[in-house]
């Protein structure tokens, strides 16, 4: 059968075709986890569109979309008993799934980015893209027993799979099953409710002079002089500034088109607002597997051992040569 006539695989079919990349101990667990995750993603897609409709037509208080997204992910993982436990950035502690302690996998999820804390919605109500991230690990605690914090605080190099969903003009799920499996994207067919393979073997393209950079220039007065010089150099070379405010959406664009995402330290923040465990590590896993690089400026993201679930970090990710340039600027300050 030729490539032209071969049916386009949906997500589950594609994972089955990639089973050689999945460790045998978890081979039968991966598809149920992704089935639960994609179901939650479809519901979140609907909730994001409905939330805008409610805003226009109702005077009643609308529950924050991030709360709804968190609830749907809870329901997907707990009701289907696909992981022994999971942690989300919206919960104070990890959640153990008592009926699934025979499972090898635990999940780490950031339900929805492009969201400001203290109950204030960000740009999702203005139709700006947002995203959900997922990381899967084999638990280090004994299978059959309770899950522990150490199950969720592993280095990124220990991850067995990662994914994100970006909600925009279409809903796209991008995933990897490890270093040898490549990075692949699946677009949701809204009519059929199916994620079909749309981006096979994503590789960050070679850097060109047009490759954009993504940074919040509203904070530039708080950047170090070395980092500010790097940003000014990007602009002097004609690099376009493309900053959405959703880490997932900005990383997704740069994954497909090339470029650099920067979340640098500033003098005004006690700590960055991006999560190491929930955002940076799973995105770094995808970026590296697509041929890019992700760093704090002085350390490789996937080599870091998180202290706790709330750990934060600076985040520079994208094309390797551009990340190398910003690393040199950061190290010059040090």
Write phi, then psi, for 274 (nearest 5 degrees): -90, 135
Contacting residues for 53 by C-beta, under 8 A, at least 6 apart: none
Contacting residues for 27 by C-beta, under 8 A, at least 6 apart: 19
What does the domain layout of the chain look like in residue ranges?
11-201, 213-331
**Taking all residues of the chain, what is their mean pLDDT, rounded to a whole number?**
89
Length of the chain, in residues? 334
Q: Which residue's structure tokens are 């997500």?
A: 11
Q: What is the pLDDT of residue 288?
A: 98
State the Cα–Cα distance between residues 322 and 93, nearest whole angstrom.
36
Closest C-alpha to 301, from 311, 293, 290, 292:
293
Q: What is the pLDDT of residue 16?
A: 95
- Pairing state of beta strands 315-318 and 293-295? antiparallel
**Topology of domain 11-201, CATH:** Fructose-1,6-Bisphosphatase; Chain A, domain 1 (3.30.540)
Q: What is the pLDDT of residue 120?
A: 39
Neighbours of 177 (CB within 10 A): 25
The DSSP line for 260-287 is: EEEE---SS-SS-SSBIIIIIHHHHHHH
State the Cα–Cα distance between residues 179 and 16, nearest whole angstrom.
17
Contacting residues for 250 by C-beta, under 8 A, at least 6 apart: 214, 242, 243, 244, 261
Q: How far is CA 226 from the centre of its chain?
A: 28
Could you say which DSSP state residue 61 is in? P
The DSSP line for 122-170 is: -GGGGT--EEEEEEEEE-SSPTTS---HHHHS--GGGEEEEEEEEESSS
Q: What is the pLDDT of residue 307?
A: 96
Is the Cβ–Cβ distance between 177 and 163 less than 8 Å? no
State the Cα–Cα distance between residues 138 and 327, nearest whole angstrom.
31
| C-alpha R_g of the chain | 20
In angstroms, the Cα distances linking 143 to 85, 86, 149, 232, 310 are: 11, 15, 14, 52, 25
CA torsion, points 160, 166, 170, 176, in degrees to nearest 10? Answer: -20
Q: What is the pLDDT of residue 61?
A: 46
Closest C-alpha to 317, from 252, 262, 240, 256:
262
Q: Which residue's structure tokens are 């899950």?
A: 147
Q: What is the pLDDT of residue 334?
A: 52
Burial per residue of 118-148, b for 16 or more beta-carbon CB atoms within 10 angstroms, e otherwise: eeebbbbeeeebbbbbbbbbbbebeeeeebb
Low-confidence ranges of the chain (pLDDT < 70): 1-6, 51-63, 114-126, 267-270, 333-334
CATH classification code of 213-331: 3.40.190.80
Read off the tokens for 52. 């805008």
Write phi, then psi, for 108 (nearest 5 degrees): -125, 125
Q: What is the pLDDT of residue 60?
A: 45
State the Cα–Cα distance between residues 181 and 172, nearest whole angstrom.
19
Read off the tokens for 185. 């994207």
Q: What is the pLDDT of residue 101?
A: 98
Q: In the chain, how long is the greatest CA-to-CA distance?
A: 60
């Amino acid at each position: 059968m030729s490539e032209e006539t071969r049916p386009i695989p949906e997500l589950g079919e594609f994972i089955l075709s990639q089973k050689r990349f999945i460790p045998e101990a978890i081979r039968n667990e991966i598809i149920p986890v992704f089935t639960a995750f994609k179901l939650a993603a479809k519901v979140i897609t609907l909730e994001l569109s409905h939330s805008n409709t409610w805003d226009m037509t109702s005077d009643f208080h609308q529950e924050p979309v991030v709360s709804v997204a968190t609830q749907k992910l809870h329901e997907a993982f707990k009701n289907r008993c696909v992981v022994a436990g999971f942690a989300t950035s919206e919960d104070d502690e990890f959640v153990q799934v008592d009926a699934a302690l025979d499972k090898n996998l635990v999940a780490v999820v950031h339900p929805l980015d492009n969201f400001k804390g203290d109950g204030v919605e960000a740009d999702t109500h203005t139709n700006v893209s947002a995203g959900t991230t997922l990381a899967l690990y084999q638990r280090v605690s004994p299978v059959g027993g309770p899950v522990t914090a150490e199950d969720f605080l592993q280095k990124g190099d220990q991850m067995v799979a990662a994914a994100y969903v970006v909600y925009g003009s279409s809903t796209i799920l991008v995933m990897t099953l490890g270093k040898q499996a490549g990075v692949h994207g699946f677009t949701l067919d809204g009519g059929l409710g199916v994620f079909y393979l749309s981006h096979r073997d994503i590789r960050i393209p070679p850097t060109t002079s047009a490759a954009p950079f993504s940074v919040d220039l509203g904070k530039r007065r708080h950047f170090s002089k070395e980092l500010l010089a790097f940003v000014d150099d990007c602009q002097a070379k004609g690099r376009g500034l493309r900053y959405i405010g959703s880490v997932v959406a900005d990383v997704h664009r740069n994954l497909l088109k090339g470029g650099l995402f920067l979340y640098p330290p500033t003098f005004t923040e006690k700590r960055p607002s991006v999560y190491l465990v929930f955002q940076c590590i799973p995105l770094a896993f995808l970026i590296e597997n697509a041929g890019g690089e992700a760093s704090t400026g002085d350390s490789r993201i996937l080599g870091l051992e998180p202290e706790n679930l709330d750990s934060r970090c600076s985040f520079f990710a994208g094309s390797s040569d551009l990340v190398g340039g910003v690393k040199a600027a950061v190290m010059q300050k040090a």
